[in-house]
Amino acid sequence: MADTRGASRERAVQLASEGKLEDALAEYQGMARSAPDDAEVRQRVAELLEWLGRQAEAATAYEAAALAWTKAAQPLRAVAACLALSRLGAPPAATTRTARVLAERFALAPSAAAPTASPGTMAPVPGPEAPGAMPILSHLGREAFIALLEAMEVRAFFPGQAVVEEGSAGASMFALVEGKADVLRTLEGGERKSAGTVLPGDFFGELALVSEGPRLATVVATERAVLLELTRERMEAVAARHPTVAGAVEAFYRRRMVENLLRSNPLLSKLTPEQKAAVSRDFQLRTVSAGEALLTQGQAGDAFYVVLRGRYTPWLEQMHGRRVALAELREGDVFGEISLLLDKPVSATVRAEVAGVVLRLDRAAFEKHLLSQPGLKGMLMRMGTERLQRTAQALASGRVLHDGDLRV
């Protein structure tokens, strides 16, 4: 039977490639009758009906595909199929009915507590996604799940087409439903280099839901790609009606940023998996206003900071009002550890040049997780001594440093 379905699938693909859409549709419909739970076949039937302009039939087929993808524990494919109903002009009740089936399968159970965040506090970090779960959506109750699902849009891209461009204003998050894309980053010399590959099930661009700012990389489709897009404007509209949405988005974003930090930072990458899990719970995500001072020279340091978005300038305040700017801090840079290490006042004022986002680890958590590790403490002490020497040199010479290495 499997061999027969395989041959039928090959015939259907060949017929579609030759432009014989009606014949390809008939082939797929035959497979659907013999294997009604085959979600891929259901999807192809729906797509062919849409291409042929038979919208009412296509809507019915997409609903069947959404249910088949749900049964197959493929939530993103199910969401994309569900959203096709609205695109095809199906009654809103049909979309909501299908969305409710998805919510019953993938949303939080009514008795579970969804992530919440109040002003000045952090939403809890969700653990690894369970099989068949989705970031953000699967941490919401059913009504919020449906509202956020219906706020998403399905986007399709051809090979070579850019999904987002580095440096452009970011205002939405994406999830790759099918296809593949490359993440490209521009180096200092202007060379563009691949930083990784986006595969089905991956989310990217979530930073744009939390704060305004430029895209940090370009994403280009390397094969036909179907994505779900959630804009900040639509997310905020849903969050106004369902406050748990803001907490789920922030918790997902915070977890992603902390995971990246723990993986890439030379200091924190040396922690054991258990230590990383412990420290990740104590990092706080904080938005920063333009002109805001995070550290003030001469005052006691209160935390260790990691830059996620924005630009931050350390300033040395001297007698007679003279100020010396040190190297600007950007994404990935850390500061504030010297004061905590040496238990001395902060050596420079750090002020945000533009609105941004940082991760903050308060003094108690810094001492608990980092200073308690002999190897890490030694590395931090060496780094702190070197930076204090550079600060002294800057004070003595009056030169502005531009090498990008100095951290406060």
Selected from 3.30.470.10, 1.25.40.10, 1.10.760.10, 1.20.1250.20, the CATH number assigned to the domain covering 2-106 reads 1.25.40.10
Selected from 2.40.30.10, 3.40.50.620, 3.40.1000.10, 2.60.120.10, the CATH number assigned to the domain covering 137-251 reads 2.60.120.10
Long-range contacts of 47-55 (CB under 8 A, 24+ apart): 48/16, 48/21, 48/24, 49/25, 50/84, 50/88, 51/21, 52/21, 52/22, 52/25, 55/88, 55/89
pLDDT at 242: 96
pLDDT at 113: 47
Percent of the chain with pLDDT over 70: 84
Strand ranges (E), 131-283: 153-157, 162-164, 172-186, 192-198, 203-204, 218-231
Average pLDDT of the residues of the chain: 84
Question: Cα separation of 286 and 292, whole Å?
Answer: 12
- Please state which of the ranges 171-175, 224-228, 235-239, 381-385 shows the lowest mean pLDDT: 381-385
Question: Cα separation of 326 and 384, whole Å?
Answer: 15
Which two tokens mark 261? 């930090």
Question: Cα separation of 174 and 109, whole Å?
Answer: 25
pLDDT at 172: 94
Measured from the Cβ of residue 119, the count of other Cβ atoms closer than 10 Å reads 4
268-397 is classed CATH 3.40.50.300: no
Q: Residue 275 — very low, low, confident or very high, per pLDDT cuts 50/70/90?
A: confident
pLDDT at 383: 61
- pLDDT, one tens digit per residue, over 295-319 is 999 898 889 998 888 899 998 887 6
pTM of the model: 0.76
- pLDDT, one tens digit per residue, over 9-46 is 899 999 999 999 999 999 999 999 999 999 999 999 99
